Homo-oligomer: A and B are copies of this chain.
Amino acid sequence: MIIEKMNYSKKMKAVLFDGSLRLVSDYPRPLLKPDWAVIKVIKAGICRTDIELIKGYMGFKGILGHEFIGVIEDTIDKSLIGRRVTGEINVSCGKCAMCKMGLKRHCYNRAVQGIHKIDGAMAEYCTLPIENLKIIPDEISDEKAVFIEPMSAAAQILTQITIEANDTCVILGDGKLGILCAWVMTTVCRDVTIVGHHENKLNAARWNGLKTITDISEIKTGVDIVIEATGSLSGLTDAVKICRPMGIIILKSTVASKIEIDLSIVTINEISIIGSRCGLFDDGIGIMRNWKDMPIERLITARYPISEAVTAFEKAVQRDSLKVLLEF
């Protein structure tokens, strides 16, 4: 009770969306709940999902942010205080059919940090269950660590399908997630190509033999693995067109919109379309430890102090922007 009163009396800066986006400085600091931790945020990334949220996606209202690193400020296990952490974004109930199957991130009753039901990390302090926190290895810098969440989402692909070294892979979309997916795929496939329309993003993407093209017509049909990461699912028609019979299409775009599509070719060619959202942070961290020269910092377009959060969002929505970071 004393802890709660102490915390509650304190205010903090936070990036709030409640129909309009703004910085507030009098948001109550999160209370310490049993089995949760309060984290002092160091950096937070602006994700494509955040940009969709301020357009009304999910109907979310509250503090934005689900890509962050910080230091544990308080929790029941005092040995954890001061540790540098990031956090898995899905907060599960532990009781539903999905949780009982071990699919906690698909919990039917889940809250998602800064996306659904609970406040996010674009604030001086945030809070998550202890079980969601991952201690960041010293060898991973603060700036790289902000990418653990999207890197895990990219690494998730490797857990969903079997991949052969000689498989060809095409990634549609040169956004942050598209580039991370492409980099992850270059670590397992010989022939990986990313298709995009932004010269600066394609320049940033060139690493580990990744090929970059601007026109999908350059791709011969018969691709083994196609990753749809255009951000709008509009690329699915293209994906179906270039995928080989019995090939695989990974769907990474989550933005809700109805598309008109002829899927009969999916049946005829026995194509697999596999939805892929977020992955285990251990996998994202594993990729970063195994591939220390992966040029993750190239994906940072700009850095802003939290006081300039609204400007940071304006920057993030620009067509040429990759990752925009908020610093605390």
A241 to chain B, nearest CB (A): 14
- Indicate if the CB atoms of A273 and B266 lie closer than 8 Å: yes
Give the residues in chain B near A103, CB-CB below 8 Å.
245-246
**Separation of A252 and B270 alpha carbons in the complex (Å):** 9
Within residues 258 to 292 of chain A, which ones have a CB less than 8 A from any CB in chain B? 258-264, 266-277
How many monomers of this protein are in the complex? Answer: 2
Which chain B residues border A275 with CB–CB below 8 Å? 263, 266-272
Contact-residue size bin, chain A (C-beta under 8 Å from the other chain): 35 or more
| A97 proximal to B (CB < 8 A) | yes
Quick check: is A182 within 8 A (CB to CB) of the other chain? no
A246, A260, A270 — most chain B CB neighbours (10 Å) = A270
A-to-B contact residues, CB < 8 Å: 97-98, 103, 106, 160, 222, 233, 236, 244-246, 251-264, 266-277
CB pair A262–B257 under 8 Å, yes or no, is yes
**CB <8 Å contact, B106 and A270:** yes
> What would 6 A/B residue contacts be, using CB atoms closer than 8 Å?
A98-B244, A233-B263, A251-B266, A256-B262, A257-B262, A267-B276
Name which residue of chain B comes closest to A250, CB basis. Answer: B267
Query: Chain B's nearest CB lies how many Å from the CB of A52?
Result: 10
By a CB distance below 8 angstroms, the chain B residues around A236 are: 263
Smallest CB separation, A276 vs chain B (Å): 6
Q: What's the nearest-Cβ distance from chain B to residue A88, in Å?
A: 15
CB distance from A19 to the nearest CB of B (A): 22
